[in-house]
């Protein structure tokens, strides 16, 4: 196999059961990535870090292989271009543009438009370089971002956003249409740029989990677990079994919360308000049970270095098990209603279709990928304890439309209810938290957790004083947002909210 040479000759990564790290030259950067693609690998993340010892940066690409995760590292001197990976992995283009905006490492990708800057700082400044950032700066009254134009008789554009009629974060969608049929959609994101990656560098490593949990609030457990997984690996720390079971419990609860919310919203977007009311009730009941068990409705602070912030009482465990069973029973009845409702079938079936071949080529991940024949689930394929013990069932469909993504949600909801009950049944005795000690400086720790949306990746470096040198959180929405642009082609404009919700991608996890 082409990747075997690269894999076997690489340094072991801290944090993932099967992970390797490989420094490469500019000549070998593309070769290694091409070998990975030929072996069926996917791009998991691409980011850059400033080298404090030289006028240079290090560009890293994490590749998801059947053997595990391979991280390629390429040093790039200021002013040099490094080879773009966009032809091998289309999702790389936006990641490379973001890496330039934040660090200044520039690829030879022909698309050099800024992705995150939005005139918020001068073009020659980069937030993740050492030193103070200049004050907000605008070089023009308006950003002259060049969208791709579609020419032809009867073609016109509909701009939507970035400000939306709701509380969601900003994102701009530029539709090119004939009548109501969509010919092209181009997205532009990153309007807020919260400065999360810069803020990480101002925190001690022992405190970074709280910020990690707030990268994308609907995936708080996944991000905080991925962060502490990387940190604990740098500390050579093994957490107690009870803590691992409780983390998995929280992750499955987070999956349930999101699937319940989305199934209701999808019903509502198709004109079936009954579905919204019923799933909203189930979600609220679950949230109240979770708050009684862990002290928070949304588990932003549950996962901490060394284990869990709070333990679970026997009474709370019993209540959670009962709630999971009640949710499973109610969701089965609601699925029958959704399946038999002709109006929902008419809106769901065939809408926003992504073929298995397109999903593979574009690198579609997670829930949306599994609905398009990409049956990867890190809980099964690269499991962290205790998933290696409890063996989750992998849920997948092949149709790739809204109906398939709805079905995957229903089936994953049932599986998560089963896993919640199983985790509580097998919950070990013992401590739920230990001291992790000090992190090894000047090395790379990584975390990979299958969140409800898809694989959440975290890369962490710590300096000798225990401060974070670089932390890169990666949400699967980076890969999946570009696929949404393809999913809407040929559909009508009024179906976009429904198709968009069937993916339900993160603005916040993309806007670092």
Query: Per residue in 308-327, pLDDT tens?
Result: 999 999 999 999 999 999 99
CB 419 within 8 A of CB 427: no
Assess whether 310 and 411 both reside in one domain. Answer: yes
Assess whether 230 and 308 both reside in one domain. Answer: no
3-state secondary structure 134-175: CCCCCCCCCCCCCCCCCCCCCEEEEEECCCCCCCCCCCEEEE
Q: Residue 484 is inside which H or E element, if any? A: helix 477-487
Q: Residue 51 is inside which H or E element, if any? A: strand 42-51
d(CA 389, CA 122): 51
pLDDT score for 186: 97
- Characterize the bridge pairing of strands 42-51 and 106-107: unpaired
Q: Where a domain ends, among 107, 135, 168?
A: 107
Binned at pLDDT 50, 70 and 90, residue 207 comes out as very high
10 part of a folded domain: yes
Assess whether 328 and 406 both reside in one domain. Answer: yes
269 part of a folded domain: yes
374 part of a folded domain: yes
Assess whether 421 and 347 both reside in one domain. Answer: yes
The total domain count for the chain is: 3
Assess whether 322 and 406 both reside in one domain. Answer: yes
Q: Residue 322 maps to which CATH number?
A: 1.10.645.10
Backbone dihedral angles phi then psi of residue 86, each to the nearest 5 degrees: -65, -25
Fill in the DSSP letter of residue 127.
T
Residue 2 has pLDDT above 60, yes or no: no
Across 354-372, average pLDDT: 97
491 part of a folded domain: no
pLDDT score for 19: 75
CB 395 within 8 A of CB 415: yes
Higher pLDDT pick, 501 / 118 = 501
Helix pair angle (241-269, 220-234), 10° resolution: 150
d(CA 243, CA 183): 50
13 part of a folded domain: yes
Assess whether 54 and 71 both reside in one domain. Answer: yes
Closest C-alpha to 370, from 224, 268, 255: 255
> Which of 161-170, 246-255, 317-326 comes out lowest in average pLDDT?
161-170
Q: Where a domain ends, among 87, 107, 127?
A: 107
CB 145 within 8 A of CB 113: yes
Assess whether 215 and 293 both reside in one domain. Answer: no
Assess whether 258 and 403 both reside in one domain. Answer: yes
Give me the domain span that covers residue 30. Answer: 3-107
Q: Where are the alpha helices (DSSP H) in 9-61?
A: 26-38
Assess whether 440 and 426 both reside in one domain. Answer: no
Assess whether 424 and 308 both reside in one domain. Answer: yes
Assess whether 8 and 99 both reside in one domain. Answer: yes
Across 382-399, average pLDDT: 95
Binned at pLDDT 50, 70 and 90, residue 21 comes out as confident
149 part of a folded domain: no
Fill in the DSSP letter of residue 189.
-
Assess whether 221 and 260 both reside in one domain. Answer: no
Show the beta-strand stretches assigned E in 259-385.
Answer: 303-304, 307-308
CB 33 within 8 A of CB 63: yes
414 part of a folded domain: yes
362 part of a folded domain: yes
Q: Where a domain ends, among 88, 107, 126?
A: 107
């Amino acid at each position: 196999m082409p990747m075997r040479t690269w894999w076997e000759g690489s340094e072991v990564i801290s944090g993932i059961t099967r992970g390797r790290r490989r420094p490469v030259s500019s000549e070998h950067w593309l070769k290694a990535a091409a070998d990975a693609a030929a072996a069926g690998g996917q791009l998991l993340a691409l980011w850059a870090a400033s080298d404090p010892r030289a006028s240079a940066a290090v560009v890293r690409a994490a590749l998801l292989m059947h053997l595990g995760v391979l991280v390629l590292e390429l040093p790039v001197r200021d002013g040099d271009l490094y080879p773009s990976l966009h032809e091998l992995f289309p999702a790389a283009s936006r990641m490379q543009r973001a890496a330039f905006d934040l660090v200044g490492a520039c690829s030879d990708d022909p698309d050099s438009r800024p992705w995150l800057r939005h005139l918020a700082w001068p073009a020659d400044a980069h937030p993740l370089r050492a030193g103070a950032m200049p004050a907000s700066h605008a070089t023009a009254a308006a950003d002259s971002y060049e969208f791709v134009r579609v020419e032809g008789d009867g073609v016109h554009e509909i701009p939507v956003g970035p400000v939306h009629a709701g509380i969601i974060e900003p994102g701009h969608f530029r539709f090119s249409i004939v009548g109501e049929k969509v010919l092209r959609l181009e997205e532009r994101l990153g309007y807020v740029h919260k400065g999360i990656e810069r803020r990480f560098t101002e925190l001690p490593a022992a405190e970074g989990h709280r910020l990690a949990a707030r990268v994308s609030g609907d995936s708080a457990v996944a991000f905080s677990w991925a962060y502490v997984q990387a940190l604990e690996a740098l500390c050579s720390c093994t957490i107690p079994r009870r803590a691992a079971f409780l983390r998995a419990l929280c992750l499955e609860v987070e999956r349930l919360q999101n699937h319940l919310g989305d199934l209701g919203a999808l019903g509502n977007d198709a004109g079936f308000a009954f579905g919204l009311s019923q799933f909203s009730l189930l979600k609220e009941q679950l949230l109240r049970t979770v708050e009684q068990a862990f002290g928070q409705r949304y588990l932003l602070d549950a996962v901490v270095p060394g284990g869990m912030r709070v333990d679970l009482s026997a009474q709370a465990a019993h209540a959670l098990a009962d709630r999971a069973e009640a949710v499973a029973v109610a969701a089965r009845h609601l699925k029958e209603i959704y399946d038999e409702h002709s109006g929902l079938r008419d809106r769901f079936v065939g809408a926003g279709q992504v073929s298995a071949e397109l999903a593979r080529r574009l690198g579609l991940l997670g829930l949306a990928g599994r609905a398009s024949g990409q049956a990867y689930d890190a809980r099964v394929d690269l499991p962290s304890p205790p998933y290696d013990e409890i063996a989750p069932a992998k849920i997948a469909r092949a149709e790739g439309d809204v109906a398939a993504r709805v079905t995957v949600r229903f089936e994953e909801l049932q599986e998560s209810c089963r896993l919640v009950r199983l985790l509580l049944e097998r919950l070990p005795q013992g401590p739920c938290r230990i001291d992790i000690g000090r992190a090894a400086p000047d090395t790379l720790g990584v975390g990979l957790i299958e969140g409800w949306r898809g694989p959440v990746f975290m890369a962490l470096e710590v300096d000798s004083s225990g401060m974070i040198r670089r932390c890169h959180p990666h949400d699967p929405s980076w890969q999946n947002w570009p696929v949404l642009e393809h999913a809407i082609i040929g559909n009508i404009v009024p179906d976009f909210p429904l198709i968009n919700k069937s993916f339900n991608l993160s603005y916040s996890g993309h806007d670092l």
